[in-house]
Amino acid sequence: MKIRIELDEKLKEDEVLIRTSRLTDEIAEIQKTIVQTVNNFQKFTFYKGTTEYFLELRDILFFETDEEGICAHTVDDIYQTKYKLYESMNGKICCRAFLCGCQNPPF
């Protein structure tokens, strides 16, 4: 298997291309790993008072609800989010135990 990185300053968004003669379990696993990695670095907007914070999903430990709405907990702090739990950040499960990008988590 060859791995090649091409730099193109004209690109507006990074692209990962997997070129293969057939879809094997190994290729599917590589794709899954890339998707998980990209999802871990995707940032979402959270709030503390009137200040916006942009956090990566991998930094969120868990969510809880209180009288003010949905709280996202990190190791160091608690933030508010305007997302509803059923929206779950564009369909991603956002807690460390299930940070797999699954649409239908196993729980």
Structural domain includes residue 69: yes
Structural domain includes residue 6: no
Residue 87 has pLDDT above 70, yes or no: no
DSSP 13: S
pLDDT band at 34 (very low <50, low <70, confident <90, very high): confident
Number of domains in the chain: 1
Question: % helix / strand / coil in the chain, to the nearest 5?
Answer: 25, 25, 50
**Segment 41-67, tens digit of pLDDT:** 777 888 998 899 988 877 888 888 878
Two tokens, residue 78: 């608690």
pLDDT of residue 36: 79
Task: Identify the top-confidence range among 19-23, 81-85, 91-95.
Answer: 19-23
pLDDT of residue 98: 43
Structural domain includes residue 28: no
